[in-house]
Amino acid sequence: MLQDLVGKKPLFSCAIGVTETAKIPGISAAGANPEITDYTPPADVELLHLGKCKCITGVPVTPDGIPTPALITRSALKLANIPIIVVNAGLKIKPQIPFVEVGGLPGNDIRTGKALNNAHEVIERAKIFGENLSKTVDYLVIGESIPGGTTTALSVLLAMGFEAKGKVSSSMPLNPHKLKIKTVKKGLETAGVKEGEFADDPIKAVSTVGDPIQPVVGGLVIGAAENVPVLMAGGTQMAAVLAVVNALKPEVMYNIAIGTTKWIINDKTSDIKGIVSKIADVPIFASDLDFSGSRFNGLKAYEAGVVKEGVGCGGATTAAMLKSNGKITKQIMLKEIENNYNKLVSET
């Protein structure tokens, strides 16, 4: 699939949302503390468009100060001059940049068993938008930013019958699998839903224990993949969306790939290949990024397994390399990322 995309024109779309699930202490590192995770997705896409954030000072960081992967995505898209369209999947804080509305609302804590209120309508609107986008470019890259998203990925995968306990990734080096499983079990229990019960009803799965980006990304993929290839840019969260898409429209799977980072592929605490292989025969590509020689500790930390993925950074990097026919190398990427990081650090 990738060979066919060399030199072709992509569009990068990013679905952003929040779920109360991310506020459970210890679940997410996508923000310096749980309460601030509401600001992470809008700040991420402000960074994509403007090179700096408006709704917060500085950029989103982990509790240890490691910067958001949006920095990587921004660098890749800018270098390769790839257009960006942000989709609001459900936010409490709106970004101060243009974004698309498809009716999405913030997600409830999955422990309520009532995660989303209008997933069906959101999927339908996202399908319309994905279909229209697919008429503009050669292929689509779709990323996401939602704190807590690997936990809601686990719950949707389990509700649909894909054994993924201990296999979803984490933005933390120590993956809190126990806490995630406990959270997910509580949600399924409250809803009175058995694992696998929603194998054929992904809309019920996401409505019960999912998060807002799942119906949005799912709808975008379904709407677009009938016309053009779609690179789902993300880690194990995208595997959950893949399960949703596969259950709703299996005939588009031939046109879908997952694009992620080597930090996800090499992660010992998760297993994206294991999850995806049970869903469908879809290729997984890892972008070739290497921060081990970086002059910034905040970037070096990525090599130690912090953050790993997010804001479609892996897929965006792959798209930039493809569009430039390999002229954008990992060395050029690191230099651009370091320059952008340096600018941000010196400004704040």
d(CA 286, CA 186): 33
Region of 39 please: left (phi>0), alpha (psi -120 to 50) or beta.
alpha
Count of residues that bind its own copies according to CB under 8 A: 30
d(CA 211, CA 115): 7
Q: Which of 16, 76, 100, 289 binds its own copies (CB under 8 A)?
A: 100
Q: Which of 68, 88, 171, 237 binds its own copies (CB under 8 A)?
A: 88
In 226-260, which positions are buried (b, 16+ CB within 10 angstroms) versus exposed (e)? bbbbbbbbbbbbbbbbbbbbbbbbeebbebbbbbb
CB 110 within 8 A of CB 151: yes
Q: Residues 6 or more apart from 331 whose CB is under 8 A from it?
A: none
Q: Which of 18, 45, 102, 299 binds its own copies (CB under 8 A)?
A: 102
Establish how many alpha carbons lie within 13 A of residue 290's alpha carbon, considering only the half-sphere containing its beta carbon.
7
Site string for its own copies, 38-67 (x = CB under 8 A): -----------xx-----------------
**Binding segment toward its own copies, per CB under 8 A, in 101-109, 163-171, 241-249, 338-346:** 101-109
CB of 43 to its own copies, least distance (A): 16
Is residue 98 close enough to count as binding its own copies by CB under 8 A? yes
Is residue 101 close enough to count as binding its own copies by CB under 8 A? yes
Q: Which of 36, 137, 179, 332 binds its own copies (CB under 8 A)?
A: 137
d(CA 154, CA 181): 8
Is residue 7 close enough to count as binding its own copies by CB under 8 A? no
d(CA 47, CA 122): 25
CB of 38 to its own copies, least distance (A): 18
Q: Which of residues 310-339 bind its own copies (CB under 8 A)?
A: none
Q: Which of 85, 168, 258, 276 binds its own copies (CB under 8 A)?
A: 85
Is residue 133 close enough to count as binding its own copies by CB under 8 A? yes
- Reference 37, options 26, 24, 22, 52; nearest CA is 22
Q: Which of residues 65-84 bind its own copies (CB under 8 A)?
A: 81-84
Q: Which of residues 232-271 bind its own copies (CB under 8 A)?
A: none
CB of 288 to its own copies, least distance (A): 25
CB 316 within 8 A of CB 285: no
The residue ranges that bind its own copies (CB under 8 A) are 9, 11, 49-50, 81-85, 88, 94, 96-103, 121, 125-126, 128-129, 132-137
